[in-house]
Chains A and B, each alone.
Chain A
């Protein structure tokens, strides 16, 4: 564990807490893409298959349980909870996210570390996470004004993977034979997808104005 990875995990955890706060405090999930939440639930379920088989550390297991349970809970909330489900922007959240799942499956079958059940599922989860934010970014552009908590949620979600890239650079220089091109490549694409969001987020923060994404 290094400081970059801890910062990344804490930023990721914080983004989940901000999202939960937004849904709980405003009793609304307007501006939140259910499709991105479903993709993230799938990412965690396919990546943490080893939750019950390999014990790495208490921290590792606790964080996996937190990420799986929070993402599933949010999907359930947005789909079935009588109050919040009505506030979901169903007609704006139209990204065909099953295409992202299909492409990730093909990529995982073609590019993986070892052709084993767990490794292919792990690669799938890495590729899927890289593009999981797309429905959310499209929804933000369509829904015009973005409420603060939603903007902060997306910001921290993007920042966590940037910390992970620093973590991979750090591990590359401190650990021998540490080359994980799948994580690096996907992590780079994932962070790059946030580039324009980060730009508009910074501009809105500098001008102390409402976050506005160009349509």
Chain B
């Protein structure tokens, strides 16, 4: 699954 990492945040 796509790693819903916090890295998609600013």
Contact = CB atoms under 8 A, between A and B. Distances in A.
Contacts of B4: 171, 175, 177-178
B7 A122 contact: yes
Contacts of A64: 10
Contact of A9 (B6, B7, B10): B10
A60 interface: yes
B10 A12 contact: yes
Interface residues of A, number: 19
A183 B6 contact: yes
A180 interface: yes
Contacts of B5: 180
B10 A60 contact: yes
A5 interface: yes
Contacts of B8: 56, 60
A156 B5 CA distance: 25
Nearest to B3: A177
Contacts of B10: 9, 12, 60, 63-64, 67
B7 A5 contact: no
A3 to B, nearest CB: 14
A59 B6 CA distance: 16
A164 interface: yes
A214 to B, nearest CB: 33
Interface of B: 4-10
